[in-house]
Amino acid sequence: MSIFNRFANLFHSSRLDHDLEEELHSHLEMRAQDNLSSGMSKEDAELDARRRFGNAALIKESTRAQRIVLWLETVLQDAHFGLRTLRRSPGFTAVAVLTVALTIGATAAVFTVINSVLLRPLPYENPGRLITIGTFMPRENSEVTATPQYGVYKSKSRILEDAGAYSPQNFNLSGAGDPERLEGVVATGSFFTTLGVHAHRGRTFTPEEDRPEAEKVAVISHSLWQRHFNSDNGAVGKTILLDSVPYMVIGVLPQSFRFPDLNLQPDVIVPAALPPFKGDDSQPMLIVNVVGRIKPGVSLEQARSDLDNVLQQFLAGLHSKFGHFFDGASTRTRLLHTDLVGGVRRPLLVIMAAVGFVLLIGCLNIASLQLARAVQRSQEVGVRSALGAGKLRLLRQLITENLVLSACGALGGLLIAAVAAGLLRAAQLSALPHVADIRVDYRVLGFIVLITVASGLFFGLAPALWVNRSNPAETIGKGNRSTAGAGHRRLRNLLVVAELAVAMVLLAGAGLLVHSFSRLLAVDPGFDFHNVLTARISFPLTTLREQAPRFTFLDQVTQELRALPSVESVGITNSLPLLPYENSMSITIEGKPVPPKGMASFVPLLEVNPDYFHAMKISILGGRSFNASDRPGSGPVAIVNQTFVRRYFPGEDALGKRFRVPAPVGPPPTWITIVGIVADVHHLGLAQNVSPEVYSPLAQSRIYDGVTFVVRTSELESTSSALRRVVAKLDSNQPVSDLTSMEQKLSASLSARRFNMVALGAFALLALVLSAVGIFGVLSYSVAQRSHEIGVRMALGSDRGRVIKLVLREAAWLSLMGAFCGVAAALALTRFMSSLLYRTSAFDPLTIICVSALLIAVGILAGYLPAHRASRVDPIIALRAE
Amino acid sequence: MAKNDQLLGTLDLLVLKTLSHVGSMHGYGIVLHIQRVSDDLLRVEEGSLYPALHRIEEAGWITSEWRASENNRRAKYYKLTAKGRKQLARAEASWQRVVRGVGSLLKMA
């Protein structure tokens, strides 16, 4: 038979079988028909036809043997035999398949996330050459790049092929339909060409359209196209109102487009349309983020030094008006990929390592189980090899059996990974970038196949080799009590200790995260986040342009809300906790030395109404809260937090002290008097340190972008819909956004840490269960093997209690050894996760002690069932089994 | 293989000869034909016919195709190939040699 035919048959074997069956069937029919016409009864005719034929199945079998290749047949036989032996020991099979499914599933699920988040290339053209360019300002301790710097980077640098800049700017979409607050971005004309992104419908804008005098155009997101235009192809060319200004829609972005900044998911992108830079601050500027495309072959470091040169030349020739503002400024560059996923890299790698450990434990478990089985089966194998089965054939048989096992498990694992990917997508975790793109793809499949085959071969090979080296005469001679000596028991004990040690590392890691998380939850945020509704009101730049109508509008909403019986108080702020500060200012304090220009301290400024502190339950520690008398005409006042007092008035009474905000031009501004001191609020998140903060009365401030209502209410739901109603009644074009509760905001701010903790915790738990199964298996087997010895002991007067103790002592010893080795490994490894911990040492002794105790307790518990079984050994039966 | 070469060879020869005679025929027809032509002297084991047919087809001596039979039943029809014709000539020659050999042996005894 030609090789080609063999392979053709391989693929057509079922068709062949079917063909043959039909042929035999047609033969039988013809024979029966002839029998019938020669006068036989119908039954006799068929019976005779079959009798003449003999055994149809047998014929099929021997005919097929001509067809199907021998080696394939053997493989199938092996697999079949493997399945049969697995079926014969359902307990073992269930544990083994479940172990493989869980470990491979968990590993594949984590790999799916890593693949989608870290490994898959960014959805841009040649993403490897995209970088972010920032200007680091030591005075601000942050990267701030304004449009003039971007301009020189783009025009002067020789290593950039292209560059684009953008800045977030939100818009109120009005006109037809419900008003909506849109996340938006203003970008330079080169933004899309730099990324190499093309529109799904229409086109993206050009540099010519990025000019102050050009007609206003907008590119919209796929999602806005769907919800606002019902995916209408005629959307391109239509006009939309953004902050009441008409913009023509020129393009729709593809669904796969991801903005190169994780914090932004803009629905509209419009040209920045800035006037050219004149060398001073006479023209409007924008703080921007810059994306550059470096020329092929340019390294990141070359790019950085070239761009920094350009920056230094620019700053040297800058107008002195900027003072010390740019002192020490330098350029920083990062690969866009690093910028996007850098933050989750470490946690994801820690989780991947954790799941790798789980996989290792699972494999050790299986190896241990297989070893026990192999020894039990050594007699069977001995008989088979004595009967002439080749060693290679026996070895292959065992490996195939293992691969069948792994394959069953891997299918389960694939299922688990797919379900996990779906759950993660549905959960919309803010902790993970591009969470919508998480899915099982061919790379994940390849990964599953790889680890399945690798683990199946490696951990199936150990027991297989073990069996193969045994001598048939010896094993048959020994009969069923072939204990195979202490060597094999030592090996199994070693495996279990290794499992426990690895489980210990995971438990320590998870324990540290739990500890750190509980510390974080114990942090007093400085306000009461229960029963507080939040709602953002963003004023468009063009309608309600004047300050007075804005205040009137806010007053009206406040009045209506206060009238609701469930509402306790209505606060308003321009800068909500758990979000970045809206505004900072440099201050100089009366009686303290005035810092040089551009060197003053920056302090976050929060503008709030008098009821804000009451609504948020922020304690007033000294002085007074704001009240109705703090009006635009009255003397400017401020309330500061404790940290402010500690920083600027250590050991002094801050009440009554004055500070002011230096103005770049004009007469010196008036002094602002501190009238109150409030408790610290963890504004940027529970894990962040508190900055010195200044609160000023909203009534004495200007309202820029918008404000957020914080409503303390006993009924969040009804108040939320009431608020919507009230706003819609007062101004039907006014959107309400970010309608949620402070509690949800706090929970969301912890989501990344919670994700890490839950993931690692789940894997640690899995590891603990798997290693408990491991101990259980080893001890059960050891009890079964030693039943004779136990019988002798009992016959000699040992009681049940002592037998139980005997087994439990073994369990305790194994657990102790595991915990001991595990602590050493944990101490070496947990330091890699210190960046994930909040005020918890990576060597936290309490955590280590607790999880060691847990591990040992579980280990001893796992030994209880085998111990109990040992105590039930009947000495007479055990001895008679000789 | 060597020990039952002759035996298998006989069935092969019968099948090939039948097909060379009738052109194209299904398995059941081959059985009937052999039986009829040999005046019921030769009866083909229906159970061993199909393995033989498939083996011969595998060797490339015959080809098969599904067709409607004379009374409109679907059946698999076998037909001799050029290679099969040559094989038949060889097998016939070798058979004749065996018959002659056995014949002279019997006469001698």
Nearest to B28 among A30, A55, A67 (CB): A30
Place of tokens 């009240």: A627
Structure tokens at A177: 């339909």
pLDDT of A517 strictly over 90:
yes
Binned at pLDDT 50, 70 and 90, residue A119 comes out as confident
User: Quick one: average pLDDT of A285-301?
Assistant: 91
Q: Which residues of B touch A55 (CB under 8 A)?
A: 47
Distance from CA of A81 to the nearest CA of B (A): 26
The confidence score (pLDDT) of residue A386 equals: 65
A148 falls in which pLDDT band (50, 70, 90)? Answer: confident
Give the separation between CA A402 and CA A128, rounded to whole angstroms: 42
Among the ranges given (A563-567, B54-58, B67-71), the one the predictor scored with the smallest mean pLDDT: B67-71
- pLDDT of A73: 62
Is residue B2 over pLDDT 60? no
**How far apart are the CA of B103 and the nearest CA of chain A, in angstroms?**
32
pLDDT on residue A7: 47
Would you say residue A243 has pLDDT above 50?
Answer: yes
Residues in chain A with CB shorter than 8 Å from the CB of B76 are: 19, 22-23, 26
Nearest Cα of chain A lies from the Cα of B3 at a distance, in angstroms, of: 18
- Phi-psi domain of A86 (left: phi exceeds 0; alpha: psi -120 through 50; beta: other): alpha
Query: How confident is the model at residue A481, as a pLDDT?
Result: 46
A27 contact residues in B (CB cutoff 8 A): 26-28, 46, 50, 75
What percent of chain A clears pLDDT 70, i.e. is strictly above it? 85
Cβ neighbours of residue A854 under 8 Å, at least 6 residues apart? A507, A768
- pLDDT-based confidence at residue A279 (cuts at 50, 70, 90): low
Nearest to A510 by CA among A697, A270, A753, A337: A753
- CA A137 from centre of chain: 32
Tell whether A508 and A563 lie within a shared domain. no
Range of the domain at A585: 544-732
Q: Residue B31 and residue B27: Cα distance in Å, rounded? A: 6
Flag whether pLDDT at A207 surpasses 90. Answer: no
Least CB–CB distance from B73: residue in A5, A29, A53 = A29
| A343: enclosing H helix or E strand | helix A336-376
Are A592 and A705 in a shared domain? Answer: yes
Q: How far is CA A228 from each of CA A222, A232, A340, A505, A861, rounded to the nearest angstrom?
A: 10, 9, 29, 52, 61
| CA-based nearest residue to A49, from A33, A68, A70 | A33
pLDDT surpasses 60 at A68: no
In chain A, residues with a C-beta closer than 8 Å to the C-beta of B75 are 23, 26-27, 30
Q: Is pLDDT above 60 for B57?
A: yes
Can you tell me whether residue A59 is helix, strand or coil? helix
- Residue A94's pLDDT band (boundaries 50, 70, 90)? confident
Least confident interval from A158-172, A608-622, A631-645, B37-51: B37-51
Average pLDDT score over residue span A733-740: 87
Spatial CA neighbour of B79 closest among B67, B96, B93: B67
Given B51, B58, B73, which is nearest A62 (Cβ)?
A: B51
Task: Name the one residue in this structure whose structure tokens are 């293992």.
Answer: A402
Q: What is the ipTM of this complex?
A: 0.81
pLDDT for residue B98 = 81
Secondary structure of residue A231 in the 3-state scheme? coil
**Same domain membership, residue A390 and residue A316:** no
**Three-state DSSP class for A495?**
helix
Is A16 in CB contact (< 8 Å) with chain B? no
A61, closest residue in chain B (CA to CA)? B51
Chain A residues whose beta carbon lies within 8 Å of the beta carbon of residue B43: none
Q: Is some CB atom of chain B closer than 8 A to the CB atom of A6? A: no
Residue A4: pLDDT band with limits 50, 70, 90: very low
Among A247-251, A394-398, A613-617, A716-720, which is the least confidently predicted range?
A394-398
Same domain, A178 and A245: yes
Distance between CA atoms of residues A389 and A382, nearest Å: 9
CB contact under 8 A, B27 and A20: no
Mean pLDDT of A652-662: 88
Minimum distance, in Å, between the CA of residue B73 and any CA atom of chain A = 7
Q: Which of A23, A59, A67 to mutate to test the interface with B (most CBs of B within 10 A)?
A: A23
> Does B2-108 carry CATH code 3.90.105.10?
no
pLDDT number for residue A329 = 86
Cβ of A23 within 8 Å of Cβ of B50? The answer is yes
In a domain, residue A150? The reply is yes
Chain B residues inside the 8 Å CB shell of A15: none
Does B4 have pLDDT greater than 50? no
**Dihedral angle sign, alpha carbons of residues A802, A803, A806, A807:** negative
Does A97 map to a domain?
no
pTM of the model: 0.71
Nearest to B50 among A24, A31, A33 (CB): A24
Query: CB A569: neighbour CB atoms within 10 A?
Result: 21
> Which has the higher per-residue pLDDT, A788 or A431?
A788
Quote the Cα angle for A682-A684-A685, to 5°: 65
Nearest alpha-carbon partner for A535 in A747, A700, A712? A712
The pLDDT assigned to A415 comes to 92
* pLDDT tier at A676, thresholds 50, 70, 90: very high
The SS3 call for residue B12 is helix
Query: Tell me: the pLDDT tens digits for A302-351?
Result: 999 999 999 998 888 776 666 666 778 899 999 999 888 888 888 899 99
A535 in any annotated domain: no
Q: Min CA distance, B91 vs chain A (Å)? A: 21
Please, which pLDDT band fits residue A849 given cuts at 50, 70 and 90? very high
Mean model confidence pLDDT for chain A: 84
Report the domain count for chain A: 4
Q: Which residue has the higher pLDDT, A595 or A423?
A: A423
- Do A727 and A800 fall within a single domain? no
pLDDT band at A881 (very low <50, low <70, confident <90, very high): low
pLDDT, mean of residues A599-622: 89
Distance CA A116, CA A122 (A): 10
Q: What does the pLDDT average to over A727-731?
A: 89
The model's confidence at residue A487, banded by pLDDT at 50, 70 and 90, is low
Same domain, A291 and A165: yes
Between chains, do B26 and A27 touch, taking CB under 8 Å as contact?
A: yes
pLDDT score of A432 more than 80: no
**DSSP code per residue over A463-487:** HHHHHHTS-HHHHHHHGGG---HHH
A478 vs B: CB within 8 A: no
Question: Which chain B residue shows the shortest CA-CA distance from A48?
Answer: B46
Q: What mean pLDDT value characterizes chain B? A: 80
Region A716-736: what's the mean pLDDT?
90
A764 shares its domain with A857: yes
- Whether residue A513 lies inside any domain: the answer is yes
Whether residue A756 contacts residue A559, with contact meaning beta carbons closer than 8 Å, is answered with: no
Query: What pLDDT is stored for residue A680 in this prediction?
Result: 95
**What are phi and psi for residue A322, nearest 5 degrees?**
-80, -5
Which DSSP symbol is given to A533?
Answer: E
Enumerate residues 6+ apart whose C-beta is below 8 A from A238: A229, A248, A249
Give A4's contacts in chain B (Cβ within 8 Å).
Answer: none
Is residue A127 in some structural domain? no
**Same domain flag for A353 and A478:** yes
Contact A66 B55 (CB under 8 A): yes
Give residue B1's pLDDT: 33
Q: Which residues pair with A145 in a beta bridge?
A: A288
At residue A538, what are phi and psi to the nearest 5 degrees?
-105, 125
Q: Which of A17, A42, A68 is the last residue of a domain?
A: A68
pLDDT at A1: 42
**CB proximity A21 to B under 8 Å:** no
* Alpha-carbon dihedral B8, B9, B11, B17, rounded to 10 degrees: 160
Q: Which residues contact A448 (CB under 8 A, 6 or more apart)?
A: A104, A108, A410, A413, A414, A417
The distance of A28 to chain B (nearest Cα, Å) reads: 8
CA distance A618 to A640: 12
- A344-360 tens-digit pLDDT: 888 899 999 999 999 99
Is A6's pLDDT higher than 50? Answer: no
Q: Residue A217: is its pLDDT beyond 70?
A: yes
Most confident segment among A396-405, A458-467, A673-682, A683-692: A673-682
How far does A227 lie from chain B, in Å, by closest CA? 59
Separation between Cα atoms, residue A659 and residue A661, nearest integer Å? 7
Q: Which residue has the higher pLDDT, A102 or A733?
A: A102
Does residue A445 fall inside a structural domain?
yes
Contact yes or no for A193/A209 (Cβ under 8 A)? no
How many other CB atoms are there within 10 angstroms of residue A247's CB atom? 22
Q: Check residue B75 and give its pLDDT.
A: 86
Chain B CB within 8 Å of residue A90 CB:
no
Rounded mean pLDDT, A807-817: 91
**Number of other residues whose CB lies within 10 A of the CB of residue A545:** 11
- A696 and A828, same domain (yes or no): no
A442 and A307 within one domain = no
Same domain, A284 and A365: no
Q: Where are chain B's structural domains?
A: 2-108
Q: Across the interface, which of B47, B71, B76 has its CB nearest the CB of A23?
A: B76
- A778 with A865: CB under 8 angstroms? no
Same domain, A237 and A296: yes
pLDDT computed for residue A873 by the predictor: 77
Partner B contacted by A300 (CB < 8 A): no
- Quote the CA–CA distance of A708 and A536 in Å, as a whole number: 4
As a whole number of Å, the end-to-end CA separation of chain A is: 55
Candidate from A93-102, A595-604, A761-770, B65-74 with smallest mean pLDDT: A595-604
